[in-house]
Chain A
Amino acid sequence: MIELKNITKTYELNKNDKVVALDNVNLTINEGELVVLKGASGSGKSTILSLIAALSKPTSGEVIVDNKKISKLPDNFASVYRRDNIGFIFQKYNLIPTLSVKENIILPLVPLNPPANEIVEKLDRVAKMFNISHKKDAIVRNLSGGEQQRVAIARANVNDPKILIADEPTANLDEKLSLNFIEILRELKALNKTIVIATHDPLFFDLDFVDREIQVHNGKIIL
């Protein structure tokens, strides 16, 4: 499903100063698998996520998703790949606070300009799934933290992506909301989604439905 082959990623800070974020990483994630990437901040786990999402390109090596080499996609096609395959759950929800719940959720669909009934259909599906239907027209700014979290997850799922990527999803949540999130995660896993989570929150360790925990340290995977 997801394959990282000999990935090296360096960031050029300036001409003489390079930072190696990933160093010859090999990783395979199977379909329907839930993988937790553990490690301190700066260890390279976020870089792995951004490579899987084709948000950045490796310095060398290949990223292959569904037998498609995505590490060399032109920018526009990388976006299309994300739109169709990846659902993103960010650290701080990353919603647009002045828009309504509905407008936030359909954001990934906007550039496609689909017919109104398709939008309504997709919106209703995820709004129901994540229990936010009753707040569809509320402005996001006025919602509680838990509601905002559900909106963010609904947005990530609006295109019914095969892969979900979560970057420190509980970093800014209190314990109750974090546990909430884990329950939602359990449901998503049941839908046979491939899920990759980068976190250093101990709540995720030793969960019964996590397939694998991978330690990332200094740009290398420690098995």
Chain B
Amino acid sequence: MILTPEVLAILILNAIFAFFGIIAFVLSVRIFLAWDLNSVSQSQYILEKQSFLTATIIKYIFVIKVPLFLFFIFTLDKISNVLTGAMCAAGVVDATVYGTYLFMLKILNIYIFAYWLVLHNEDIKHENQPYTKIKFGIFIVAFFLFISELILEGIMFSSIDIDKMVSCCGTLYSSSATSAISSIFAIDTDVLLYVFYGNFAFIILFYFLKQKYLFAISNLVFIISSIVSLIVFFGTYIYELPTHHCPFCFLQSDYYYVGYLIYALLFIGTFYGLVTGFVKNSKENIIKNYKISMLFNFLYVILLSLYPIVFYIKNGVWL
């Protein structure tokens, strides 16, 4: 069990999330089952009022959740000082079996919540509120993911053992390790870079062709190819160390917190990319989403490409 003030703060907020989440869940189920915009009954009228509360709660959770996610990583970094062997958040994530799942779940949930909000914004633009049933249906599913995230987080913090030695990111993210993560090092770097830049080229291509489904799918693939290439290739240039692959260390002050910028660009870029394909939208909105997605993906690629280029200019060699 580890109970630093930071962990306690996260747990308190989680409790609040759970409390409001359950309210939103109950209301969502009601709305999902009984929504009928044409009815003039009192119960429909109450449902309409309750839909405002539900939407407000979900907005609240999302708005707090995003900075809290950064705080979560911050906290893991701090806990890593206490855990023997860990140098950054990666070690803490690896300290328990739940860490990796929790992390993936958190990212997934942020995507889902953000998607929900886009859908909601689109929904309330129309008088007939076409997505009301769908959006509350989605929340019913999202609620279970969200609650499992909260539970998993509680379990993770309670099962971290301070006295146990954990792995440092240097061993987790290296080609000699045997974990699932390390299998990505088997991919040839050249191939990986072709995939990464090729993927980006497709995004540009579909951007100009305005093929929204292909654009969304290439964004989906881009999430994976970016993270893999970040770990295998670009990370080493951020650290200027050929052996250091950790996707967490550059979140620390030693690297000017550049990691937060990197992940923010990637998230916004790919998220709006996905939105173009998965949310029905007015024409101008679609174009706007295209543009946002393109801009952030572009900045992401530029930022990451700069690291090896600057390194090469400074040192005259590749790592």
A and B associate: yes
Given A57, A74, A76, which contacts B40 in the complex, CB threshold below 8 Å? A57
Tell me if A74 and B129 are in contact (CB < 8 A): yes
Task: Convert A9-23 into 0s and 1s, putting 1 for each residue whose CB lies closer than 8 angstroms to a CB of B.
Answer: 000100000000000
Q: Within residues 23 to 67 of chain B, which ones have a CB less than 8 A from any CB in chain A?
A: 37-38, 40, 42, 45, 48-49, 52
Say if the beta carbon of B124 comes within 8 Å of chain A: yes
Q: Within residues 95 to 142 of chain A, which ones have a CB less than 8 A from any CB in chain B?
A: none
> Closest CB-CB distance, A84 to chain B, in whole Å?
14
Residues of A within 8 A of B42 (CB): 12
Residues of B within 8 A of A77 (CB): 127
Given B38, B49, B52, B124, which contacts A72 in the complex, CB threshold below 8 Å? B38
Say if the beta carbon of A183 comes within 8 Å of chain B: no
Question: How many residues on the A side are at the interface (Cβ–Cβ under 8 A)?
Answer: 12
Residues of A within 8 A of B49 (CB): 75
Q: Within residues 194 to 249 of chain B, which ones have a CB less than 8 A from any CB in chain A?
A: none
Tell me if B127 and A59 are in contact (CB < 8 A): no
Residue of B nearest to A69 (CB): B127
Say if the beta carbon of A169 comes within 8 Å of chain B: no
* Chain A interface, DSSP helix/strand/loop, else mixed: loop
Task: Convert B100-128 into 0s and 1s, putting 1 for each residue whose CB lies closer than 8 angstroms to a CB of A.
Answer: 00000000000000000000000010010
Given B37, B40, B127, B129, which contacts A60 in the complex, CB threshold below 8 Å? B40
A-B contact count (CB 8 A): 20
> Closest CB-CB distance, A65 to chain B, in whole Å?
14
Tell me if A58 and B127 are in contact (CB < 8 A): no
Question: How many residues on the B side are at the interface (Cβ–Cβ under 8 A)?
Answer: 11
Tell me if B45 and A74 are in contact (CB < 8 A): no
Determine the distance from Cα of A72 to Cα of B128 in the docked complex, in whole angstroms: 10
> Closest CB-CB distance, B216 to chain A, in whole Å?
29
Determine the distance from Cα of A71 to Cα of B49 in the docked complex, in whole angstroms: 16
> Closest CB-CB distance, A77 to chain B, in whole Å?
5
Determine the distance from Cα of A73 to Cα of B103 in the docked complex, in whole angstroms: 43
Determine the distance from Cα of A76 to Cα of B123 in the docked complex, in whole angstroms: 12
Determine the distance from Cα of A76 to Cα of B48 in the docked complex, in whole angstroms: 10
Given B37, B38, B40, B48, which contacts A59 in the complex, CB threshold below 8 Å? B40
Residues of B within 8 A of A12 (CB): 42
> Closest CB-CB distance, B55 to chain A, in whole Å?
11
Task: Convert A74-99 into 0s and 1s, putting 1 for each residue whose CB lies closer than 8 angstroms to a CB of B.
Answer: 11110000000000000000000000
Residue of B nearest to A12 (CB): B42
Task: Convert A45-78 into 0s and 1s, putting 1 for each residue whose CB lies closer than 8 angstroms to a CB of B.
Answer: 0000000000001111000000000011111110
Residue of A nearest to B128 (CB): A74
A57-B40, A58-B40, A59-B40 known; A76 vs B45 contact (CB < 8 Å): no
Tell me if A76 and B38 are in contact (CB < 8 A): no
> Closest CB-CB distance, A211 to chain B, in whole Å?
31
Tell me if B37 and A57 are in contact (CB < 8 A): no
Determine the distance from Cα of A23 to Cα of B38 in the docked complex, in whole angstroms: 21
Task: Convert B138-169 into 0s and 1s, putting 1 for each residue whose CB lies closer than 8 angstroms to a CB of A.
Answer: 00000000000000000000000000000000
Residue of B nearest to A75 (CB): B48
Determine the distance from Cα of A179 to Cα of B235 in the docked complex, in whole angstroms: 80
Tell me if A72 and B48 are in contact (CB < 8 A): no
Residues of A within 8 A of B38 (CB): 72
Tell me if A57 and B124 are in contact (CB < 8 A): no
A-B contact pairs, 6 of them (CB 8 A): A57-B40, A58-B40, A72-B37, A74-B129, A76-B124, A77-B127
Please list the residues of chain B having a beta carbon within 8 angstroms of any beta carbon in chain A: 37-38, 40, 42, 45, 48-49, 52, 124, 127, 129
9 nearest A-B pairs in the assembled complex, by CB-CB distance: A77-B127, A74-B129, A75-B48, A57-B40, A76-B124, A74-B48, A73-B127, A74-B127, A59-B40
Please list the residues of chain A having a beta carbon within 8 angstroms of any beta carbon in chain B: 12, 57-60, 71-77
Q: A72-B37, A74-B127 are in contact. List 11 more A-B contacts (CB 8 A).
A: A12-B42, A57-B40, A58-B40, A59-B40, A60-B40, A71-B40, A74-B37, A74-B48, A75-B48, A75-B49, A76-B124
